[in-house]
Chains A and B, each alone.
Chain A
Amino acid sequence: MKWIYRLLSLIAALFFLAPIVWMLVVSIKKEGMKIVTLVDWFTPPYSFAVYEEVLSTTKLSNWTLNSFMVAVCVTILTVAVAALASFALSKIPFRYRSFIFFFVLAGLLIPGEATIIPLYQVAKDMDILNSYQGLILPALASPVAVIVLKSFFDGIPNELIESVQIDGGGTWRIFTSIMLPLTRPALASMAILTFIGSWNNFLWPFLSVTDDNLFTLPMGIPTLMNQYSEDYVKPMVINTIASIPIILLFLVFERQIVKGISLSGIKG
């Protein structure tokens, strides 16, 4: 019986790895070779010439940089904005607290896809189409992040907060020296999930940006692909260049990513 499990496991692993391996192998294949069988892809001659060509003649590296900058800004600001709001909802006893909480909760029901057309009009009215602000600002309001972080802040005992108050610490100090450090794992997980979400975000950048200097990877890639439909090497070089940074990031932060997903699933 044991070997059946092992065999099935290996087949599953191959299913997930094969497309990525194929992408890598095709990307270093010499251009214009005659391909008849699968083995042809996996045999020399190899060449990195197309990498140089793609990097020097396209804006792919700009777009990778844009994707990173937008994702980093969105991540930092989303987590900051959500942490501030969820701290107020969790620990400050203000009027209308439950009303505001409900107002945020309602946001979970509003799918971005359903508001994208009016959002375009709103962004146009504000004159932020075709700008970094336009790419970043609409992505910042994350009700999910507020609700998940609130549940973590709720878990911090009030006695701890009161002891800081007795020592003369203000609200800001409570926030920065107790709340944030004690919820660091949750903040990190939320940050990583936000980063991946922003990195892969397609629909809004696709609609709101037409200037190719501002493209992020998901929108830039399709514009390159149309030109090379008959050729496999260039598309796979483009795919590979676009994927290497995020795969490396995944390998470094795998534990936090896994944890973040588990958290978001529990909270639904």
Chain B
Amino acid sequence: MRLSKLRADVLALLFLLPFLIVYVLYTIWPMIKGVEMTFYKWTLIRKMSYIGLDNYKRLLQDSEVWAAIWHSTIFVILTTPTMVVLAIVLALIANRKSRLQKLYRSVFFIPSVLSVAVASFLGLFIFQPYMGFVNTFLHLLNLLPQDSEIFWLSETWLSWIAVSVITLWWTVGFNFILYLSAMQEIPDEIYEAARLDGANDWQVFWRITLPHLSPITKTITMLQIISSFKVFLQIYIITGGGPLDKTRPIIQLIYQTGFRKNDLGYAATMSYVVFIILLVLSAIQYWVNNRKGEHA
């Protein structure tokens, strides 16, 4: 666009101003303010006293914090591979020509539009003993003896499974759509050539489809790791972080420390640990994406 220098600067500023105002006020400024908070005893009511590095020292020795980070990590480990594999399987189903093709696409994605609170409470009731959907369904198929019940939310590992299954059900739709559109971009000629050479479905999938999906798989995997690490509400509602805080993720601990224990300074300090972890993950993601760009 041809503009005089001064005019360009003034116009650009006007166009950028609304964004810059909200961006600086609600993203950049809190980032900076947060650093200050970590050096103080800081409650919900007011700034109390300067305590230097005490919050940091406390953090390093706080086993609750590291346990919570570990729980978030467990959730990442449980959900990332399953999310990726299930999304590929669903995309394969919805990519096959059939009368139900459109229906499959809608059905696999519908849970993703539900509110996190709805998905979580649905999950909570689905996994209840006696009347919940899963146990009554297992009884119906005789997979579970009629007189026994599985208490999904009273044991740590069963709780992890329940929370992971619900999350999978609720959010796999996003990855599914990404895979589906990636699959539709693979040129038909490649498939036809493979068929002419006598390749079967299995070979076509491993030799053609999957290699073509590898760039998007890298992106999806990294995005999934980042979003799984930020898990909070599903676990908070379904297990409450229990049994015995054994499934409590780090974001829940930050919330409880800040708002239940009235210690915003320490909660802010924990936030920076999360920030550093996510920053490293994002940096890896950026690097992976850019490498993809070079090859493409």
Task: Determine if A207 and B133 form an interchain contact, defined as CB atoms under 8 angstroms apart.
Answer: no
B267 at the interface (CB under 8 A from A): yes
A-B contact count (CB 8 A): 275
Closest CB in chain A relative to B188 CB, distance in Å: 19
> Which residue of B has the minimal Cβ distance to A248?
B113
Interchain nearest-CB distance for A129 vs B (Å): 11
Contact (A265, B220) CB under 8 Å given A81-B22, A94-B11: yes
Partner of B31, one of A108, A115, A165, A238: A115
Size of interface on A: residues with Cβ below 8 Å to B: 97
With a cutoff of 8 Å between Cβ atoms, the chain B residues found around residue A107 in the complex are: 23, 27-28
CB <8 Å contact, B283 and A109: yes
Given A140-B22, A162-B2, A261-B178, A268–B289 Cβ distance below 8 Å?
yes
Interface centre among B28, B113, B181, B255 (most CB of A within 10 A): B113
A261 to B130, CA, bound (A): 39
Chain B, residue nearest A108 (CB): B282
A104–B28 alpha-carbon span in the complex (Å):
10
- What sequence of 0s and 1s flags, for each residue 82-104 of chain B, a beta carbon within 8 Å of any chain A beta carbon? 00000001100100101010011
Count of chain B residues near A, Cβ 8 A: 94
Q: Could you mark each residue 20-41 of chain A with 1 if its beta carbon is under 8 Å from any beta carbon of chain B, else 0?
A: 1011001000000001011101
For the complex, is B197 an interface residue (Cβ under 8 Å from A)? no
A95, A120, A141, A217: the one contacting B27 at CB < 8 Å is A141
B18 part of interface (Cβ distance < 8 Å): yes
User: Cβ of B34 and Cβ of A118 under 8 Å apart?
Assistant: yes
Shortest distance between the CB of B259 and any CB in chain A (Å): 7
Q: Are B230 and A111 in contact (CB under 8 A)?
A: yes
Interface string of A193-208 (1 = CB under 8 A from B): 0001001101100010
Bound-state CA distance A92–B3 (Å) is 8
Q: A121-B37, A239-B118, A261-B177 are in contact. Are A16 and B139 (CB under 8 A)?
A: no
A202 to chain B, nearest CB (A): 5
Q: Does B194 contact A (CB under 8 A)?
A: no
Q: List A137-164 residues whose CB lies under 8 Å from chain B.
A: 137-138, 140-141, 143, 146, 158, 161-162
A209 within 8 A of B: no
How far in angstroms is the closest Cβ of chain A from B266?
9
Interface status of B216 (Cβ within 8 A of chain A) = yes
Contact B115 A199 (CB under 8 A): yes
Q: Is the CB of B136 within 8 A of A94?
A: no
A202-B137 contact, Cβ under 8 Å, with A85-B20, A93-B8, A118-B30: no
Cross-chain pairs A/B with CB under 8 angstroms, 6 sampled: A17-B110, A39-B140, A117-B268, A137-B22, A257-B113, A268-B285
* B contact set with A: CB distance below 8 Å: 1-3, 5, 8-9, 11-13, 15-16, 18-20, 22-23, 25-31, 33-34, 37, 42, 89-90, 93, 96, 98, 100, 103-111, 113-118, 121-122, 125-126, 130-131, 133, 136-137, 139-140, 169, 174, 177-178, 180-181, 201, 216, 219-220, 223, 226, 230, 232-233, 237, 251, 254-255, 258-259, 264, 267-268, 271-272, 274-275, 278-279, 282-283, 285-286, 289
Beyond contacts A114-B274, A119-B26, A238-B121: 11 other A-B pairs, Cβ-Cβ < 8 A, are A35-B130, A109-B283, A114-B271, A120-B258, A207-B255, A217-B115, A218-B116, A222-B121, A242-B117, A247-B114, A251-B106
Residues on A lying within 8 angstroms of B by beta carbon are 1, 5-6, 8-9, 12-13, 15-20, 22-23, 26, 35, 37-39, 41, 80-82, 84-85, 87-89, 91-95, 97, 100, 104, 107-111, 113-122, 126, 137-138, 140-141, 143, 146, 158, 161-162, 165, 171, 174-175, 196, 199-200, 202-203, 207, 217-219, 221-222, 225, 232, 235-236, 238-239, 242-243, 246-247, 249-251, 254, 257-258, 261-262, 265, 268
